């Protein structure tokens, strides 16, 4: 379905202004916007336009050095020359000049020197990746003891010469090295598949942010994405699924439309080599014993049940586990053998998360097998499997890493823990002497929404803002000093249930990856969020030069309003979520740095239109202004972005995409999948006789495992159910209801009109819900309109 509702807010769209009316600031309006609570940018004294912030910066005398197309680029030795070539490429891609290696000499211009770092830099935490950079009127010298360190120095120099600097590098001395050795990004290619070119673009962006670990999630319930030659059905069968609903129907034939994709071993080696050139290790993940549906679909003998399976088109937590037979252990070891042959990294990730044990509990054969192995419960059975794989990997000079569930039932002695359910698992593992990578769902999950903007793409519930990501501290304050070295670093995780396109992937990752990079590289003393915000616009300019489709939503202007429908007035509040200054226009003219500065809510009679944009140093931050238009009709309408969930227990609000059309734009809905009910708060029903609801229908494509009892629905009394209108706390008797059709119209929507009882009046909650089981499909609200 393609949404065609009449939204009053149309962000990032340079629309013509149909209604122009001057809006006057309210000096003493109640409920001021939250802009005063946003941090706002503030450049620290001496800061450079670098992300991540370096460990030590010393400004020196002189005017610095300007890099232009004639600047000589010098390096001696194969490794230094490689770095020089990579610097030239990054500089040009970031908007700087194209440089060529100098034919001779090692004086003047830009020099890359591989050798001992200065004694003053040897105290830095990681000399392996450390470097020094010195700039003066005579040129720039980048020096490091390793090629990786020299590469990171080159990355710093490319930033100094771009992002609005016009090639001017200040006179400065930088001594720099990362705080943590593991600065990672996990990408899920199992739920949604990325092309080889897209993977390489992600690696380029990681390298430019000084990230050094690419965790590649290659297997899951929805797809097996890695060629294993000994088991060809893993990709022949396991790499294809039929999407739920209209997305799985071929519009031309009406038959099944499969979603497929996998990487050959040759392609995987190509990715590994590409990453290695950028000093990024690639960590493969083969998930066991859960997230195994695609593998079991390919080889049913690996499963616990006799029921045939297919790679799943749903999201959530599934009960399908590998069985506990010796033959299955051998299968996993055989798979790991080919993985080890492809991936030179020291670590292999074996998952271990969200393994619902219901099938093991119910299986007499698994219970017998547990007794044979001496496992007292299912967690010990999982621990036995993990220890078996850990021993196998140790025999092949590899180390096992897994999600923090591998702590349960006992942890193999050499295992490393990736803590995702918070930091508690990491704290426990580090305290017991295990190495840890911190990647908590509360701070490091990039598939969570990053702002409250209606322009956010589909994603998981709640917000992980740029500020929250930046503020994450990987070393728990309660961890003993002698155990802190076990915190290897941090990692951002990009699961892709809701990330159907590469454009959405870029939106979800950037600019939050910049915050992850600084948290992983820079010591706490160098980290300051307001300073980061002041440096971020320069990084955005580099993003634009790369053609990177970073999220616009953190740089939009958010708009909220208080309306008086009977008076025909509206009070408009503006705020940028990061606290950048907001300027606005109400006369139809473009918003510029000279437009009025927003300082207090605006009030006007409708019709009225306001444009607004966020600025830093006179430059707009978003691609286009936010436009909000108000008419008498718009005051009577709410779309689902403006509606709230109904109160009460059972809240799991997701931002969900519709299942069709097969290609192109799809409608997006905010839905509480535990209790689908929408609420118009403070709806004024005076003079209103009808409620018109534009509703759509989407597949219920979730499995919730032990959370399934939280899913609620009201039993239908008609053949296809009812839409019910309620007031108050949304739980009382309905005041109006309409029979639902068997299906929506051809466009995927239906407009339902409920007549209110005579005498309905007053202001309060207006609640809209639908009866009937939400499986296999559920009705969702797109737009609500009040009519007389």
Non-local (6+) Cβ contacts of 690 within 8 A are 753, 754, 755, 756, 786, 787, 788
**CATH 3.30.379.10 residue ranges for the chain:** 56-176
Sign of CA dihedral 451, 455, 459, 460: positive
3-state secondary structure labels for all residues of 35-102: HHHCCCCCCCCCCCCCCCCCCEEEECCCCCEECCCCCCEEECCHHHHHHHHHHHHHHHHCCCCCCCEC
473-508 pLDDT, tens per residue? 999 999 999 999 999 999 999 999 999 999 999 999
Q: 8-17, 409-418, 752-761 — which is least confidently predicted?
A: 8-17
Which of 263-277, 285-299, 433-447, 695-709 has the least mean pLDDT?
Answer: 695-709
**Mean predicted confidence (pLDDT) in 366-390:** 97
Provide the pLDDT confidence category of residue 38 given band limits of 50, 70 and 90: low
Q: Measuring CA to CA, how many Å separate 54 from each of 153, 158, 292, 478?
A: 10, 14, 42, 27
Q: Which of the four pLDDT bands, split at 50, 70 and 90, describes residue 139?
A: very high
As beta bridge partners, residue 693 has: 752, 784
Distances (CA, A) of 490 to 42, 481, 525: 26, 18, 18
Query: What does the alpha-carbon distance between residue 765 and residue 6 come to, in Å, rounded to a whole number?
Result: 22
Peptide bond into 227 cis (omega under 30): no
How many other CB atoms sit within 10 Å of the CB of residue 650? 16
Determine the CATH number of domain 56-176. Answer: 3.30.379.10
Share of the chain residues as helix, strand and coil, in percent rounded to the nearest 5: 25, 30, 45
CA separation for the pair 56, 176 (Å, rounded)? 6
Q: Where in the chain is the domain with CATH 2.60.120.260?
A: 639-787
Q: Would you say residue 697 has pLDDT above 90?
A: yes
Q: How far apart are CA 351 and CA 217, in angstroms?
A: 9
pLDDT digits (tens, 9 = 90+) for 307-347: 999 999 999 999 999 999 999 999 999 999 999 999 999 99
Q: Is the pLDDT of residue 11 over 60?
A: no
Sign of torsion, CA 103 109 112 116? positive
Third-level CATH fold of 9-40+553-632: Immunoglobulin-like (2.60.40)
In the chain, which residues fall in CATH 2.60.40? 9-40+553-632
354 is an active site residue: yes
- Res 121: pLDDT: 55
Q: Which residue has the higher pLDDT, 123 or 389?
A: 389
Please provide the size of the chain in residues.
788
227-234 long-range contacts (CB < 8 A, ≥24 apart) are: 227/262, 227/263, 227/264, 227/265, 227/268, 228/335, 228/338, 229/265, 229/338, 230/334, 230/335, 230/338, 231/298, 231/299, 231/331, 231/334, 231/335, 233/298, 233/299, 234/294, 234/295, 234/298, 234/299, 234/335
The proportion of the chain whose per-residue pLDDT surpasses 70, expressed as a percent, equals: 94
User: Which residue among 198, 270, 354, 714 is the active-site one?
Assistant: 354
User: In the prediction, which pLDDT does 67 show?
Assistant: 98
Enumerate the H helices of 122-178 as residue ranges: 147-160
Mean pLDDT of 55-83: 96
* pLDDT at residue 21, as a whole number: 34
* Host H or E run for residue 576: none
Could you read off the pLDDT of 345-367 as tens digits, one per residue?
Answer: 999 999 999 999 999 999 999 99
User: In the prediction, which pLDDT does 310 show?
Assistant: 96
Phi-psi region of 308 (alpha: psi -120 to 50; beta: other; left: phi over 0): beta
CATH 3.20.20.80 in the chain, residues?
182-527
Q: What is the DSSP letter of 202?
A: H
Dihedral class, residue 167 (left if φ above 0, else alpha if ψ from -120 to 50, else beta)? left
Percentage of the residues of the chain whose pLDDT score is greater than 90: 87
- Tell me phi and psi for residue 149, to 5 degrees: -60, -40
Rounded to 10 deg, the angle between the 196-208 and 147-160 helix axes is: 80
Give me the architecture of the 639-787 domain, per CATH: Sandwich (2.60)
| CATH number belonging to domain 182-527 | 3.20.20.80
What is the structure's pLDDT at 1?
46
pLDDT band at 23 (very low <50, low <70, confident <90, very high): very low
Nearest residue to 196 via CA among 92, 257, 258, 269: 269
End-to-end CA distance of the chain: 29
Residue 127 — pLDDT band, cuts 50, 70, 90? confident
Question: What is the distance between the alpha carbons of residues 404 and 420, in angstroms, rounded to a whole number?
Answer: 7
Helix H segments across 636-713?
none
């Amino acid at each position: 379905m393609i949404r065609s509702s009449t939204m009053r807010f149309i962000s990032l769209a340079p629309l013509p202004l149909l209604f122009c009316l001057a809006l006057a600031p309210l000096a003493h309006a109640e409920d001021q916007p939250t802009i005063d609570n946003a941090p706002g940018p503030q450049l620290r004294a001496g800061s450079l336009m670098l992300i991540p912030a370096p460990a030590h910066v010393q400004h020196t005398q002189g005017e610095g050095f300007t890099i232009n197309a004639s600047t000589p680029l010098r390096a001696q030795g194969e490794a230094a020359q490689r770095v020089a070539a990579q610097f030239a490429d990054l500089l040009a891609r970031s908007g700087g000049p194209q440089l060529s290696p100098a034919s001779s000499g090692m004086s003047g211009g830009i020099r890359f020197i591989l050798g001992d770092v200065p004694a003053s830099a040897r105290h830095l935490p990681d000399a392996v990746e450390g470097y020094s950079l010195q700039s003066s009127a005579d040129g720039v010298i980048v020096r490091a003891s390793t090629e990786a360190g020299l590469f990171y120095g080159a990355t710093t120099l490319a930033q100094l010469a771009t992002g609005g600097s016009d090639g001017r590098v200040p006179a400065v001395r930088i001594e720099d090295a990362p705080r943590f050795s593991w600065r990672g990004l996990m990408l899920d290619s199992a739920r949604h598949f990325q092309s080889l070119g897209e993977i390489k673009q992600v690696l380029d962006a990681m390298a430019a942010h000084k990230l050094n670990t690419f965790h590649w999630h290659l297997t899951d319930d929805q797809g097996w994405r890695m060629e294993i030659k000994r088991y060809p059905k893993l990709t022949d069968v396991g790499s294809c699924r039929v999407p739920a609903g209209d997305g799985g129907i071929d519009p031309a034939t009406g038959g099944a439309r499969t979603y497929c994709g996998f990487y050959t071993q040759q392609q995987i080696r190509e990715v590994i080599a590409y990453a290695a050139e950028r000093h990024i290790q690639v960590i493969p993940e083969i998930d066991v014993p859960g997230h195994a549906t695609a593998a079991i679909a390919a080889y049913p003998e690996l499963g616990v049940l006799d029921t045939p399976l297919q790679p799943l088109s749903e999201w959530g937590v599934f009960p399908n586990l590998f069985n506990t037979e010796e033959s299955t252990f051998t299968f996993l070891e055989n798979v790991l053998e080919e993985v080890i042959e492809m991936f030179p990294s020291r670590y292999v990730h074996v998952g271990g998360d969200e393994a619902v044990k219901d099938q093991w509990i119910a299986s007499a054969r698994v219970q017998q097998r547990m007794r044979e192995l001496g496992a007292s419960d299912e967690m010990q059975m999982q621990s036995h499997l993990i220890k078996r794989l850990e021993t196998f990997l140790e025999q092949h000079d590899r180390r096992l890493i897994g999600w923090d569930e591998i702590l349960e039932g006992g942890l193999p002695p050499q295992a490393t823990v990736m803590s995702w359910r918070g930091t508690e698992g990491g704290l426990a593992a580090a305290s017991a002497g295990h190495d840890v990578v911190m990647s908590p769902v509360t701070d490091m999950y990039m598939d969570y929404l990053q702002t409250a903007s209606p322009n956010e793409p589909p994603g998981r519930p709640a917000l992980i803002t740029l500020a929250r990501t930046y503020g994450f501290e990987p070393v728990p304050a309660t961890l003993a000093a002698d155990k802190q070295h076990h915190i290897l670093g941090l990692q951002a995780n990009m699961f892709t249930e809701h990330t159907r396109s590469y454009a959405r992937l870029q939106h979800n990752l950037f600019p939050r990856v910049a915050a992850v990079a600084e948290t992983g590289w820079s010591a706490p003393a160098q980290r300051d969020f307001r300073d980061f915000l002041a440096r971020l616009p320069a990084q955005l300019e580099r993003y634009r030069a790369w053609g990177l489709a970073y999220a616009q939503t953190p740089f939009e202007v958010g708009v909220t309003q208080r309306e008086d429908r009977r008076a025909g007035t509206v009070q408009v509040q503006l705020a940028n979520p990061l606290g950048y200054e907001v300027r606005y226009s109400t006369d139809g003219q473009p918003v510029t740095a000279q437009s009025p500065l927003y300082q207090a809510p605006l009030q006007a009679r409708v019709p009225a239109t306001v444009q607004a944009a966020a600025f830093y140093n006179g430059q707009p931050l978003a691609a286009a202004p936010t436009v909000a238009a108000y008419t008498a009709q718009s005051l009577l309408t709410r779309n689902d972005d403006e509606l709230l969930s109904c109160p009460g227990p059972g809240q799991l609000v997701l931002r969900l995409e519709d299942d069709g059309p097969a290609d192109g734009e799809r409608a997006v809905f905010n839905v509480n999948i535990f209790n689908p009910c929408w609420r118009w708060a403070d709806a004024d029903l005076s003079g209103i006789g009808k409620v018109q609801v534009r509703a759509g229908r989407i597949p219920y494509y979730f499995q919730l495992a032990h959370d399934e009892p939280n899913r609620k629905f009201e039993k239908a009394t008609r053949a296809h159910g009812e839409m019910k209108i309620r007031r108050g706390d949304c739980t009382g008797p309905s005041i109006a209801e309409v029979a639902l059709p068997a299906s929506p119209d051809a466009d995927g929507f239906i407009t339902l009109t409920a007549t209110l009882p005579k005498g309905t009046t007053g202001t309060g909650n207006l609640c809209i819900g639908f009866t009937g089981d939400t499986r296999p499909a559920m009705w969702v609200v797109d737009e609500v309109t009040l009519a007389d």
